[in-house]
Amino acid sequence: MAAKLWEDTVVTALRDAQWMNCKGHALPQTFPPGFVKLDGNAESALGDLLYSSGERYYLIEVKSGRPDISSEWIDSDGKYKPKKIYSSLTFLWKELEKASSQKNDPDTGFYRNAILQSAACHYFSYWNEWTLGNIATGEVVVEPYIAACLDLLDLKLAPNKFGIRPWNNNNFLLGREINGEILAGKALAVQKMLSESYRGFAVAKKNGILHTKNSYPLGLPLPQFQDYINTLTDTAGKGELDIHAIVLSNTGRVFKAVSSTAELRNFLTPDLLETKSPEQKLILINQSNPSSLRSTAGKPKNGSSKS
């Protein structure tokens, strides 16, 4: 019961931070209720979505505290039992490691892009507590899903070679550049996640010193966000995802609870948008580099092999 109350508190803090960030954006026509629960859907002004310039999207999985993150791969009996989302990212992470170890592997770009998309938009959010003097205080923070999993995996509990395991000292941090220096940490206050001043950093440690390998904005534009969701769910294969998450945008237009594969994949499917006539029906087209028409082959699902 206490954990559920903390989760509701985190959800409310996410909504508050989102609306505080609305300054400078065109406000949606529908305003939020005073309190939003994870098991209910908040309103979304979907009609304006495809016309929002610069809007960025986030997939937030809510936890009552950081220790609860391990429930993604450890069940209530303390045994290794990964959820589908965790298994999907484990597969993508291991495939990137495999491709990166081979010279000129054509799959490296696909898997690197999937992992960077994850680091940019897919987070845990939880209440982060500390002591200031003799007073206990804290705030709601976000932490990249993949980074938290890398940090919290107990190798003694996970079967050999299973789980999201570190390799080449790779990690993902959140922060910003100040006076030519990058200051970043594991977690970031939720208000800062929505600020354009903060970024994500793919880093690796060499000789005890962290070096930046990549830098990216927090959140993803709609086409890239949908691409990541498709990759995540396609990799998971058949069956429902065990997920309780929030999809939100930095402008305040979208704040939606998702708890199934269908809800996650189709939360912004144009078929759900208001259509005035068949001729005005909207479809979502992913942007790509100009090229001649050619057939494209999809990537293998988790557990499948290439031909």
Q: What is the pLDDT of residues 253-276, one digit of tens each?
A: 888 888 887 788 877 654 444 455
First to last CA, the chain: 49
Check: CB of residue 141 under 8 Å from CB of residue 194. no
Report the Cα 132 to chain-centroid distance in Å: 30
Across the range 228-233, mean pLDDT stands at 93
Percent of the chain at pLDDT exceeding 70: 71
What pLDDT shows up at residue 77?
93
Q: How confident is the model at residue 44 (pLDDT cuts 50, 70, 90)?
A: very low
Give the mean model confidence (pLDDT) for residues 215-242: 90
The more confident residue out of 15 and 41 is 15
The answer on pLDDT for 78 being more than 50 is yes
> What is the reported pLDDT for 275?
52
Q: Are 241 and 233 in contact (CB under 8 A)?
A: yes
How large a percentage of the chain has pLDDT more than 90? 46
pLDDT band at 227 (very low <50, low <70, confident <90, very high): very high
Compute the mean pLDDT over every residue in the chain, rounded to the nearest whole number: 80
Confidence of residue 33 (pLDDT cuts 50, 70, 90): very low
Question: Could you tell me the pLDDT band of residue 55, with boundaries at 50, 70 and 90?
Answer: confident
Instruction: Compute, in degrees rounded to 10, the torsion defined by CA atoms 43, 188, 222, 44.
Output: 0
pLDDT digits (tens, 9 = 90+) for 277-299: 667 666 666 656 555 455 444 55
Give residue-wise pLDDT tens across range 96-121.
999 999 988 899 999 999 999 999 99
Q: Which long-range CB contacts under 8 A does 70-73 form with residues at least 24 apart?
A: 70/152, 70/153, 70/154, 72/149, 73/149, 73/153, 73/158, 73/163
Say whether pLDDT at 3 is over 60: no
**pLDDT of res. 104:** 86
pTM, to two decimals: 0.77
- Show me where the domains of the chain are located: 2-28+37-280
Residue with tokens 């484990």: 90
Residue 216 predicted with pLDDT over 50: yes
User: Of 92, 73, 49, 80, whose CA–CA distance to 233 is shortest?
Assistant: 92
Largest CA distance in the chain: 66
